[in-house]
Amino acid sequence: MCIPSISTYIQLSQLRCCCVTCDGQCPFHSSPLLLGLLASAPLLPAMAEPLTSSLLLALVFLTISASPVASSSLSGDPRDVAVDSHALLSFKSLMSGPSLQALASWSSNGSTPVCQWRGVACGTRGRRRGRVVTLALPELGLLGKVSPALGNLTYLRRLDLPSNRLHGTLPPELGHLRELRYLKLNYNSIQGSIPPSLSSCKQLRSIQLYSNKLQGLIPRQLAALLNLEELVLGKNTLTGRIPSSITSLASLKLLVVEFNNLTGEIPSQIGSLVNLVYLGIGSNQLSGPIPTSLGNLSALTVLNAYENELAGSIPSLQGMSSLRELDLTANNIQGTIPPLGNLSSMVSLNLQRNSLGGCIPESLGNLQLLSSISLANNKLVGPIPDAIKNMHALTELYLENNQLEGPLPLSMFNLSSLKMLNIQNNSLTEGFPPDMGNKLSKLQQFLVSDNHFHGLIPQSLCNASMLKMIQTLLSVVNFMGNQLEATNDADWSFLTTLTNCSNMIVLDVSMNRLKGVLPESIVGNLKNVVELDISDNMISDKIPTTIGECQSLQYLNMSGNFLEGTIPLTLGQLRGLQVLDFSRNNLSGRIPNFLSGMTGLSSLNLSFNGFEGEVPNGGIFLNTTATSIMGNSDLSNLRRANPHVSLSSEKHIRVSYAELAKATSDFTSRNLIGVGSFGAVYKGKCEALRCVRHRNLVRVITVCSSIDYRGADFKALVFEYLPNGNLDQWLHKHLEEDGEPKILDLIGRLQIAIDVASAVDYLHHHKPFPIIHCDLKPSNILLDNNMVAHVGDFGLERFLHQEHIDKLERSTGWSAVRGTIGYVAPEYGLGNEVLIHGDVYSYGILLLEMFTGKRPTSSEFGEALSLHRHVEMALSDQAANVIDQDLLRATESVKGIAQNYHGTEENEIGCIVSVLKVGIMCSEETPTDRINIGDALRELQAIKQKFCMHQRSSW
């Protein structure tokens, strides 16, 4: 008999250890022979004769060959296996479509053992032998629901079904999976709420439900999962607060709840999650301050809290020594940027779109690993610190839309890794070093518009010495709105170097002091430029004929110069041209016919030149809103103005995207007034033609149909800015003046009601066709310096003429949108056509809201009661109970300061009741039962006159 030696014992012992660590799921555990041998291993050292290597190999061979024979013996109790099989087949039964093919191996006839089904793994020892421990079917396009029967998989440890098409709800029965450790259902379409029963799965280490359609609250019961390390609930529609109980999960490393509708404050105890590595709470509606306890999270590497409503200042983050990424974009954070000098691991810092003030701290220079900094759209002042020279890893620097001043530190031009530089819309001064292009060799975007830079544009920006590196990099150069100069051909040579940049797509040198003649040879070499803007300079002579060689041009703006002569025929070679602006020059001759054949042209501005002869009558010239030829007195067939309330170019001087960007400080958040379904509203200063139609309508100043800096279509209406905000703010948010709330009194509200009725009456009697506003509500009523009301936001307006209606129905899908919930007429919900009665209904609801102080969508009315019915029921004997108490208090306070105000409370209530009755008559459910807006206007004027007479009689 051969006896193994000590060395063989060691080998066998190591083999046993290897098998044990694989949790019993390897062939060696299937061999009774080897298991028996290992069981006797402690006795082996006492044996004297060595075991040869050939015998050892034979033993191993025997164990492997024996495993299939022994496989049947590893099956669990047939009854338990049947339970698992039934649960899985129940899951399969809820699948449909082509996804069933992925489960073809799941057979109910026993031809394939359960443990060999696709995506299924079974235990191999102990009580888990032959029982399902893993169900993993990722990225198979499975279409169906999660079966409650999965809760019967008693020993399931891993449920892994991400990136499928699962829908329905998460069954509460999953809470029966007491051994479940990993629940991964990311990227599906699962609805409903997160079942609190998951808190019974005490072994859970990871819950991943990212990108589904889950609703409701985050269950506070999840705090019972003390082993939980990953909680990923982002990109759903969860509401409510982040439960403070979650902060007791000491093992938590990953917390992701971004892209939901969560509200409330960040739990103040969040700093107790000392093992947290990633915190993602961005894109919610979280408010309040950033907890100071965050500074305790020394293991945290990523903090994303962007796009919330967080306020206050940034607390000290000095204890977050592992932090690599900090993103607080788009909040309401104020104060200064705190010291960050010891956060040496930081690679990305994003604080843009807040209200941060003060200077950029010098301590940022200590963060030598920083590759991206964005401090844009704040209120930062002072210079760019010289310490920036230490950031050798910096690739992106965004400082636009602040109040920075002073010269650029020369050390900044030594940042050889810099790719993106945006310092637009500040007050930075002086010029650029001549050799900057030699140092910033990786630059891709150079955006310095709207500052006070002067001098020459560096010729080195894209010179031959760096051609090999930069010709595929530099794509956007924007010098717009500075004081840069060029007076001779030598000064224009910067364009020559730019022609070396084969990737150059945007070149904007508008609104500077560039003079002289555009060199023909240089312009012809801008072959890859998509957007070229040299407007508002002092460029003279003719348009270079080589412009026709710039085949990539889509946007060409040469307006506001001293160009003369005719439009060159070579321009017709630009087949991709979409926007062309030659306005405000000294061009002459005929407007060339080839412009009418440029089918891609969507905007053409030839206004204020010296063109003569006939205007072409095809192509772009058939679109009166896309062309402007005004200010050319010798044209023989100027078109008639469009008879509708229109935005034709004869009525309004157009402005460019660049001018609007400058007027609004590049659409900075501090100039953002509001956002609606049709776009955003900004305030800005813009010189343009004014056009008045009615004193109570917001005036359209001008229009813009252009493309933005990225080459995307950009369209805008420029309205008069009205500084006293909108009626909604006055009714519900109580604007302040000198720290005191301002509330509209009775006379003020009555006059606003009359103003609005006057505007609507004008629209309804407009010639040749009545106009329906379709979205009357307090937020669309704007107030000027004298509190005169102006009706605005005509995004839904319609001409009351069937031809127009039919055309708009087809082109815009009007039937889907007809106003705002609460104000929209009930008949529109039934698909009825738009009529002036719809505006009258909205106006009636507006009146009721103005004098009751209650929104029509208020929850206090319930589903069975509307604002109309609420007021109507109270008018008989409880009128005083529905009147806005703030209105009565405001009117009472006026008596003490206005010498000519002597109305009694009885007169005041009587006046308000009369107004509410008008509101009731306007908001009747049946359209034909409503009074006309003209009658409502006369009623209100009579009510005001009567009330004022009562005042005078009480003097």
- The secondary structure of residue 819, as a DSSP letter, is S
If 0-12 CB within 10 Å is exposed, 13-18 middle and 19+ buried, where does residue 21 land?
exposed
Give me the numbers of helices (H) and strands (E) for the chain, helices first please.
18, 50
- Cα angle, residue 315 at apex, residues 309 and 319 outer, rounded to 5°: 130
**CA 478, CA 709: separation in Å to the nearest integer?**
9
Sequence-ordered list of residues with C-beta below 8 angstroms from that of 852, at least 6 positions apart, any chain: 867, 871, 882, 883, 884, 916
- The secondary structure of residue 478, as a DSSP letter, is E
CB-based burial, 434-443: b 16+ in 10 Å, e otherwise: eebbbbbbbb
- For the four alpha carbons of 170, 172, 175 and 176, in that order, the dihedral sign comes to negative
Is residue 390 within 8 A of residue 631, CB to CB? The reply is: no
Is residue 683 within 8 A of residue 664, CB to CB? The reply is: yes
- The secondary structure of residue 619, as a DSSP letter, is G
Q: Alpha helices of 687-801 — where are they, by DSSP H?
A: 727-728, 746-764
Residue in 597, 596, 629 with CA at minimum distance from that of residue 611: 629
745 labelled catalytic = no
Choosing from 508, 761, 775, 793, which is the catalytic residue?
775
Residue in 270, 287, 378, 279 with CA at minimum distance from that of residue 323: 279
**Residue 530 one-letter amino acid:** V
Cα dihedral 761, 767, 769, 775, rounded to 10, equals: -30
If 0-12 CB within 10 Å is exposed, 13-18 middle and 19+ buried, where does residue 926 land?
exposed
Distances (CA, A) of 849 to 164, 903, 927: 48, 23, 20
**Residue 706 one-letter amino acid:** S
**CA 156, CA 177: separation in Å to the nearest integer?**
7
Helix (H, G, I), strand (E, B) or coil at 489: coil
Is residue 944 within 8 A of residue 751, CB to CB? The reply is: yes
**CA 473, CA 706: separation in Å to the nearest integer?**
26
Is residue 792 within 8 A of residue 826, CB to CB? The reply is: no
Is residue 769 within 8 A of residue 804, CB to CB? The reply is: yes
Residue in 466, 553, 548 with CA at minimum distance from that of residue 507: 553
Sequence-ordered list of residues with C-beta below 8 angstroms from that of 404, at least 6 positions apart, any chain: 360, 380, 381, 382, 383, 384, 423, 426, 427, 428
Helix (H, G, I), strand (E, B) or coil at 164: coil
Q: Which two tokens stand for residue 599?
A: 């089918």
Distances (CA, A) of 669 to 675, 681, 781: 11, 10, 22
**CA 808, CA 443: separation in Å to the nearest integer?**
47
Which region holds residue 477: left if phi is over 0, alpha if psi is between -120 and 50, else beta? Answer: beta
**CA 872, CA 853: separation in Å to the nearest integer?**
15
Sequence-ordered list of residues with C-beta below 8 angstroms from that of 458, at least 6 positions apart, any chain: 432, 433, 434, 435, 436, 437, 494
Sequence-ordered list of residues with C-beta below 8 angstroms from that of 892, at least 6 positions apart, any chain: 905
Distances (CA, A) of 34 to 16, 28, 31, 412: 9, 7, 5, 70
Catalytic residues: 775
